[in-house]
């Protein structure tokens, strides 16, 4: 198959591109390197020494014999270069990772709010609009987030994308209807993903586009079978307060002797998936595309849920790290339950990697190997969900 990976230089996109190339697919990475530029802006860097995309692709060619094509296109802005690529390259599937993906970054200030909205929504709309204009039958796979569901707002198991409800009619009867699961975003970033879902709903309904939306949990781990084959292929690893996701952050903290930073009580429950399973899920979903006429396929791309305090305790037991409870920068419930269905992936062959598989040790090893690269000042949360808390509280008290 011919595949374009939009955002193929990023944390999930890069190992995904390598995995598909290793499986014999023809892969083209499209990326404007925005994630590297945000590192520059935040004065942060990946824990692991990632190579420039050109060096990465040379190394991959050397190691695997496979060529991955690369194009630097800002798909949120350069619509016609995107359209020309679809027409020239003729992909069977495109995988869409090309969005600003950190909730804390999206909450910093108006600059980041506006960038996240403008980039994410125009990127998605441009891909869909270009596919309609190209008149090609291309399967779109999108990396969404479990966060579109909100956290634990209902007691039930979170189904995959759709919810069957009864609506009471005025005559006392009721009719059954399946709706997109009610969105309850917790950040500007998550909001853009709930808005993406409406793009997918409409482009599928009106133009018949074949779309799979993957609601991914928090990704942990760093290397996959392919990125581990050569140090030049190493995947990025974020540990900072903006881009570092919770379990990876704990593991780095433990490696450098920093207390584990638990926000609030740690009673929040989240869904998780290992990076190796993340790329495997995308491969599986690509191999099981929607048929012409199908509604949007929505899969929950996660393998397990954990309370954050339980995770911190596990990491503490494993490594001896201490735990610090710090003020929660987010606006969220102190604790929540989260039960999630991931039957779609289990049905098409996913054999989940879980925390039991001892891969945490591997991550701690990576973190120890590169611990001289850690800037401790970048670990605390840098963004507050409620800006100028004091001002706001004064207003509320009036």
State the minimum distance, in angstroms, from the CB of residue 23 to a second copy.
26
Closer CB to a second copy, residue 187 or residue 222? 187
Among the residue ranges 124-132, 227-235, 271-279, 360-368, the one whose residues contact a second copy (CB under 8 A): 124-132
Q: Which two tokens stand for residue 102?
A: 């950190």
Q: How far apart are CA 269 and CA 150, in angstroms?
A: 11
Burial degree of 156 (CB within 10 A; 0-12, 13-18, 19+) = exposed
DSSP conformation class of 21: H
Which of 24, 40, 169, 351 contacts a second copy by CB under 8 A? 169
Write out the binding residues for a second copy, residues 310-369 only, by CB under 8 A: 331, 339
For the annotated catalytic residues, the residue numbers are 145, 189, 193
The answer to the question of residue 389 lying near a second copy (CB under 8 A) is no
- Cβ count near 124 (within 10 Å): 27
3-state DSSP of 252-318: HHHHHCCCEEEECCCECEEEEEEHHHHHHHHHHHHHCCCCCCCCCEEEEECCEEEEHHHHHHHHHHH
Helix, strand or coil for residue 45?
A: coil
Among the residue ranges 24-32, 152-160, 218-226, 235-243, the one whose residues contact a second copy (CB under 8 A): 152-160
Q: 193: closest CA among 214, 209, 164?
A: 214
Which of 129, 316, 328, 336 contacts a second copy by CB under 8 A? 129
The answer to the question of residue 291 lying near a second copy (CB under 8 A) is no
The answer to the question of residue 24 lying near a second copy (CB under 8 A) is no
The answer to the question of residue 154 lying near a second copy (CB under 8 A) is yes
Among the residue ranges 59-67, 169-177, 211-219, 223-231, the one whose residues contact a second copy (CB under 8 A): 169-177
Closer CB to a second copy, residue 247 or residue 298? 298
Q: How far apart are CA 101 and CA 30, in angstroms?
A: 16
Beta strands in 69-161 (DSSP E): 69-71, 93-96, 139-145
Which of 163, 318, 323, 333 contacts a second copy by CB under 8 A? 163
State the minimum distance, in angstroms, from the CB of residue 195 to a second copy.
4
The answer to the question of residue 61 lying near a second copy (CB under 8 A) is no
Q: How far apart are CA 272 and CA 219, in angstroms?
A: 6
Angle in degrees, CA 229, 233, 239, rounded to 5: 115
Which of 132, 287, 348, 376 contacts a second copy by CB under 8 A? 132
Please give the residue ranges that form the binding site for a second copy (CB under 8 A). 79, 83, 109-110, 113-114, 117-118, 121-122, 125-126, 129-130, 132-133, 135, 137, 153-157, 163, 165-171, 173, 175, 177, 179-180, 182-183, 185, 187-188, 191, 194-195, 198-199, 201-202, 205-208, 292-293, 331, 339, 385-388, 391-392, 395-396, 398
């Amino acid at each position: 198959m011919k595949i374009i990976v939009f955002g193929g230089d990023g944390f999930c996109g890069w190992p995904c591109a390598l995995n598909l190339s290793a499986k014999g697919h023809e892969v083209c990475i499209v990326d404007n390197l925005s994630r590297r530029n945000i590192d520059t802006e935040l004065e942060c860097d990946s824990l692991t020494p990632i190579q420039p995309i050109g060096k990465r692709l040379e190394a991959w060619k050397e190691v695997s014999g496979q060529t991955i094509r690369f194009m630097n296109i800002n798909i949120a802005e350069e619509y016609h270069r995107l359209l020309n690529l679809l027409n020239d390259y003729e992909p069977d599937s495109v995988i869409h990772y090309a969005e600003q993906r950190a909730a804390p970054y999206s909450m910093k200030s108006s600059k980041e709010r506006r960038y996240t909205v403008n980039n994410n929504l125009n990127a998605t709309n441009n891909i869909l609009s270009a596919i309609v204009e190209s008149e090609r039958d291309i399967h779109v796979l999108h990396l969404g987030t479990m966060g579109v569901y909100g956290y634990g707002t209902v007691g039930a198991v979170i189904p995959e994308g759709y919810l069957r409800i009864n609506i009471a009619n005025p005559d006392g009867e009721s009719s059954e209807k399946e709706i997109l699961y009610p969105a309850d975003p917790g950040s500007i970033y998550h909001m853009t993903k709930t808005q993406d879902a409406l793009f997918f709903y409409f482009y599928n309904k009106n133009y018949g586009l074949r779309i799979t939306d993957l609601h991914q949990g928090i990704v942990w781990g760093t290397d996959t079978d392919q990125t581990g084959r050569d140090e030049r292929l190493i995947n990025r690893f974020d540990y900072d307060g903006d881009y570092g996701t919770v379990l990876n952050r704990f593991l780095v903290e433990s490696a450098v002797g920093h207390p584990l930073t638990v926000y609030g009580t740690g009673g929040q429950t989240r869904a998780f998936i290992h990076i190796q399973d993340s790329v495997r899920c995308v491969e599986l979903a690509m191999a099981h595309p929607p048929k012409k006429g199908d509604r949007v396929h929505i899969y929950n791309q996660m393998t397990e849920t954990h309370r954050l305090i339980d995770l911190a305790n596990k990491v503490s037991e494993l490594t001896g790290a201490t735990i610090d409870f710090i003020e929660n920068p987010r606006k969220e419930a102190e604790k929540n339950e989260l039960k999630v269905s991931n039957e779609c992936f289990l049905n098409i062959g996913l054999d989940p990697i879980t925390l039991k598989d001892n891969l945490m040790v591997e991550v701690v090893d990576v973190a120890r190997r590169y611990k001289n690269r850690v800037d401790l000042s970048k670990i605390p949360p840098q963004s507050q969900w409620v800006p100028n808390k004091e001002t706001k509280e004064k207003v509320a008290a009036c």
